[in-house]
Amino acid sequence: MKDQSPERKTLNILHIDTGLELRGGQRQLLYLATALEARGHRQTIATPEESPLELHCRKQGLRTFLLPCHDPAHLFGAVLLRQQVREGAFDIIHAHDGHGHSLGLMVSVGIAVRRVATRRVLFRPRKRWTTRLKYERGSDAVIAVSQAVGEVAVRSGISPQKVRVIFDGVEIPRRVPDDASRRALRKGWGIGENEFAVGHVGYFSAEKGQWVAARAARLVKQRLPQVRFLLAGEGPPGSEAELLDESGGGGANLRLVRRVEDLGEFLPALDLFIMPSVSEGLGSSVLHAMAHGLPVVASRVGGLPEAVVHEQTGWLVEPNSPEKLATAIGVAVRDRERLAVMGREGRRRAESLFGCEAMVRKTESLYHELVGGPEE
């Protein structure tokens, strides 16, 4: 049943995402669009044809506009999308990545529509004038997924008044699996009863720091033989071989897992989650881990300290340091009671700050503010 109250203005929203993978940003877009659709707003998602996002939109019954394949810089797609914008009477164009925002500007010049851009990354553009053109003059609001991302946006030339911090949202499981269910999950992942499972989910890239985890696996191999590392994700060609090489050839204590579609079938099998990023806007997989009651060891970079509270919901360690990560894992292994307390605290923190409902409500409120309609 639609959650549509009479006093709330129904919005017509065009979302744009040009990503060719299903990563954290695309999952956030799916959460947002699905919830807004349930609230009675009209959604259209512009995404590359045959992208993972398109496939998920199709499964969930979300309306799409497909950007053609084999279209460099989406130039032909921009012509088609501009016609859609002219005819669609959109209230909001919300770009969920940098290229998407450029495309949104191209297709909406001279058309009365409010523009929103989401920033998920920490890097500062090399050319500050392009940032001012795209985000300061070319958007009505910029959503930053963490305070850290918001601060970088302001230092890059975007007015503080335009920047809104809205944390990513995650679905909070109703309950943590019981011991029998957890044993079954662990068995399915090849984790023994007396082993300690350390896991990670993320695209294999330099900024995500999986190489730090791989070297940490090598360090703990001798002194903590019961520790198993499961790194879930995919990356560019050769990335898996490089990680195995960093770990000393992998072996019994390191396993690389392909993309995990259902985190609810992976995270409850773990004892500890790690996020050894070198740069991180917020880290949506960390939020998922906390929602599942897992303590987290994360790098002290970007927005990660906004999610993980040191020595309350896990540990923060210096980035680029396999030694520091290995030490924190050793502390976790030796104090299971403390781990359980941290896991419960992390789940409570995820419920209070990072639930999907809060993310959707704040984004919808921003939309209403921009178009002059009633806010929540």
| Lookup: tokens for 270 | 């773990």
| Lookup: tokens for 47 | 């995404």
- The tens digit of pLDDT for each residue in 242-272 reads 898 888 765 668 999 987 889 999 999 999 9
Contact between 78 and 332 under an 8 Å Cβ cutoff? The reply is no
Please say if the pLDDT value at position 72 is more than 90. no
CA 329 to chain centroid, in Å, comes to 24
Alpha-helix residue ranges (DSSP H) falling in 173-209 = 179-188
249 Cβ contact list (under 8 Å, min separation 6): none
HSE at residue 135, side-chain half, CA atoms within 13 A, is 32
State the pLDDT at residue 135.
Answer: 87
What's the rounded mean pLDDT across residues 98-120? 95
Band (40; pLDDT cuts 50, 70, 90): very high
| Lookup: tokens for 60 | 């969930």
Contact between 136 and 163 under an 8 Å Cβ cutoff? The reply is no
Coil, strand, or helix at residue 138? coil
Number of neighbours of residue 227 by Cβ within 10 angstroms: 23
Q: How far apart are CA 288 and CA 355, in angstroms?
A: 10
State the pLDDT at residue 125.
Answer: 66
Q: How far apart are CA 200 and CA 289, in angstroms?
A: 9
**What is the longest distance spanned by two Cα atoms in the chain?**
65
Coil, strand, or helix at residue 317? strand
Classify the C-alpha dihedral 41-56-145-88 as positive or negative.
Answer: negative
Classify the C-alpha dihedral 101-107-28-243 as positive or negative.
Answer: negative
| Lookup: tokens for 154 | 């302001």
Which of residues 7 and 320 earns the better pLDDT score?
320
Single pTM value for the model: 0.90
Domain ranges for the chain:
12-169+355-371, 179-353
Alpha-helix residue ranges (DSSP H) falling in 89-160 = 98-108, 128-131, 147-155
At residue 125's C-alpha, the angle toward residues 124 and 128, to 5°, is 105
* Two domains, one topology: 12-169+355-371 and 179-353: yes
**Average pLDDT taken over every residue of the chain:** 92
- The tens digit of pLDDT for each residue in 268-315 reads 999 999 999 999 999 999 999 999 999 999 999 999 999 999 999 999
The reply to whether CATH 1.10.1040.50 applies to domain 179-353 is: no
Tell me the DSSP string of 255-276: EEE---S-GGGTGGG-SEEEE-
State the pLDDT at residue 6.
Answer: 43
What's the rounded mean pLDDT across residues 209-223? 93
Q: Which residue has tokens 């109250």?
A: 5
Q: Which residue has tokens 């997989």?
A: 285
CATH number of 12-169+355-371: 3.40.50.2000
- The tens digit of pLDDT for each residue in 149-174 reads 999 999 988 999 999 999 999 999 98
Alpha-helix residue ranges (DSSP H) falling in 224-335 = 239-246, 284-291, 304-307, 322-333
